[in-house]
Amino acid sequence: MAPSVLHTRAAAALRMKQISIDNQDRTIRRLRAQLATERRGLAATKKELEETRVALEASHKVIAGLTEIGLSMSKKIEKMKVKKQQVRANHVECHQKFQARIHEAEDSMQAQHLIIEALVDEKDSLLQTIHGLQEANNAPAPFDGDWEEEPEEEPEEEEIEDIPLGEGEIDDE
Q: What are 97-137's pLDDT values in tens digits? A: 999 999 999 999 999 999 999 999 999 999 999 998 888 88
Confidence tier at 173 by pLDDT (50, 70, 90): very low
Q: How much is the mean pLDDT over the chain? A: 86
Asked if 131 and 143 count as a contact pair (C-beta separation under 8 A), the reply is yes
pLDDT at 146 over 60: no
Confidence tier at 2 by pLDDT (50, 70, 90): low
Asked if 73 and 127 count as a contact pair (C-beta separation under 8 A), the reply is no
DSSP-H helix ranges across 137-172: none
Q: Quick one: average pLDDT of 78-105?
A: 96
Phi-psi region of 139 (alpha: psi -120 to 50; beta: other; left: phi over 0): beta
- Name 134's Cβ contacts closer than 8 Å, sequence gap at least 6: 140, 141, 142
Measured in residues, the chain has a length of 173
Confidence tier at 7 by pLDDT (50, 70, 90): confident
Predicted local confidence at residue 135, as pLDDT: 86
pLDDT at 51 over 60: yes
pLDDT at 95 over 80: yes
pLDDT at 169 over 90: no
- Name 152's Cβ contacts closer than 8 Å, sequence gap at least 6: 120
Most confident of 2-6, 70-74, 169-173: 70-74
